């Protein structure tokens, strides 16, 4: 399926072959731990903290070497680096004072890993548990193989950070959701990874519970990395990552209520709730358009004339006046935006309704506080333009021609002369 979002991403990638972009829920580690516990999977008891003082108190109560782990939606934390002290996102501390110092450097700082943006991700939560003596690290995961239209078990004896350099050595075992872990899979795992009969009883139980979690929670990924064997012979999951199919939102309301979003994702989420399509870009010109084709053409022309778009906001054909007014308010909270281009070709959506929303939002907010260029063509465009012109709003400019409207907003936001 080709989505509006995929078209935008394709445009950004220099018109590469179309590729659907599917957004899926990912959970922070501590939420994943709670789900694992619900399905009787072995995880270490731990505590979530948000301040250095809390970290110090937790380690004081543990009274033993402890692990402190940054809670971000990205892997590779053990090899990542904080912008504060250059140390990783997974640390062992030996005292409450060590915990306080580490937490001070971690909380509020940015962690960069191989899976984060270049600037890293801000860390506002830490998970702490008693350090465990590890004899062996394993990797276990379940996901979907789209080519075979089948769920697949991925398993390796090189877990933890080692998995990143041993991906080719993963054992891949396809299974059915109705059949689960068969005797054949059981025998293969034991033979290839060298588990004893006693160990295999624990591994089999873990695999069976993973399948149950995978099915009942509409998961797209259940990853235990590492699943460790302790010096005492126990198996414990020291890190977990879960992904849930976005199409299952209506069935998995409790899980989706746990979703944590960055400010950029929050904008997209709020606008999606209004029935509007939004993609954040890296420029300073806000776009409000209707239709993916017009969005691409608008971004193309803005770039041609030396400007850069801050977003695509597609109001589509069914947006209400109330939804549009709220959308303007959300868009204008973006401090990067220096001007807005509203480019509407009225067909299903009426230009007079767009105009009412523009004027209503401006009045409610006491003006837009940045230049706004309005181009309305199509259904009821004359009526809409008249409403805008009669609004008395100083920061609104009406321009009927596409190229002139683009040149005008680029000039107002960057000073480029034409």
Burial of 282 (0-12, 13-18, 19+ CB in 10 A): exposed
* Residue 199 annotated as catalytic: no
Unique residue bearing structure tokens 């789209």? 146
Q: Which helix (H) or strand (E) holds 312?
A: strand 311-314
Residue 261, SS3? Answer: coil
**Which residues are registered as beta bridge partners of 223?**
141, 241
Which candidate in 139, 268, 345, 356 is catalytic?
139
What gap in Å lies between CA 285 and CA 287, rounded to an integer?
6
Which candidate in 29, 33, 138, 223 is catalytic?
223
Please calculate the CA angle 95-101-107 and round it to the nearest 5 degrees.
125
The closest alpha carbon to 240, from 27, 18, 24, belongs to 27
**Which residues are registered as beta bridge partners of 332?**
none
Whole-angstrom CA distances from 339 to 9, 31, 285, 313 are: 23, 40, 5, 14
The answer to whether 125 and 209 are in contact (CB under 8 A) is: no
The answer to whether 237 and 224 are in contact (CB under 8 A) is: yes
* Residue 139 annotated as catalytic: yes
How far is residue 62 CA from its own chain's centroid? 33
Active-site residues, by number, are 139, 223
């Amino acid at each position: 399926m080709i989505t509006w979002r995929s078209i935008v991403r394709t445009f950004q990638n220099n018109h590469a072959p179309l590729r659907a972009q599917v957004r899926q829920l990912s959970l922070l580690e501590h939420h994943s731990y709670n789900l694992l516990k619900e399905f009787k999977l072995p995880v270490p008891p731990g505590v979530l903290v948000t301040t250095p003082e809390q970290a110090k108190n937790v380690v004081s109560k543990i009274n033993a070497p402890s692990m402190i782990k940054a809670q971000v939606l990205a892997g590779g934390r053990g090899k990542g680096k904080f912008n504060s002290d250059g140390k990783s996102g997974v640390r062992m501390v030996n005292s409450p004072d060590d915990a306080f110092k580490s937490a001070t450097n971690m909380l509020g700082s940015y962690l960069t890993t191989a899976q984060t943006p270049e600037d890293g991700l801000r860390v506002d939560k830490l998970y702490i548990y008693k350090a465990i003596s590890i004899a062996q690290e394993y990797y276990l995961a379940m996901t979907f193989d789209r080519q075979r239209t089948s769920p697949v078990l991925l398993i390796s004896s090189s877990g933890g950070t080692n998995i990143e350099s041993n991906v080719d050595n993963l054992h891949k075992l396809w299974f059915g959701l109705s059949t689960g872990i068969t005797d054949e899979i059981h025998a293969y795992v034991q033979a290839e990874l060298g588990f004893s009969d006693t160990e295999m009883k624990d591994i089999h139980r873990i695999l069976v519970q993973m399948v149950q979690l995978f099915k009942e929670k509409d998961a797209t990924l259940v990853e235990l990395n590492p699943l460790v064997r302790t010096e005492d012979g126990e198996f414990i999951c020291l890190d977990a990552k879960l992904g849930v199919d976005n199409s299952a939102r209506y069935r998995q309301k409790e899980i989706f209520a746990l979703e944590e979003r960055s400010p950029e994702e929050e904008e997209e989420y709020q606008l999606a709730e209004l029935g509007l399509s939004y993609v954040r870009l890296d420029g300073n010109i806000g776009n409000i358009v209707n239709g993916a084709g017009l969005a691409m053409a608008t971004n193309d022309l803005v770039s041609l004339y030396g400007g850069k778009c801050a977003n695509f906001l597609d109001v589509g054909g069914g947006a209400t006046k109330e939804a549009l007014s709220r959308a303007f308010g959300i868009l204008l909270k973006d401090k990067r935006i220096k001007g807005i281009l509203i480019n509407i070709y009225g067909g299903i959506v009426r230009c007079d309704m767009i105009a009412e929303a523009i004027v209503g939002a401006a009045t409610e907010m006491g003006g837009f506080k940045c230049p706004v260029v309005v181009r309305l063509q199509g259904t009821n465009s004359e009526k809409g333009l008249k409403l805008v012109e009669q609004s008395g709003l100083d920061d609104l400019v009406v321009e009927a021609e596409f190229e002139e409207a683009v040149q005008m907003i680029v000039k107002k936001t960057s000073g480029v002369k034409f």
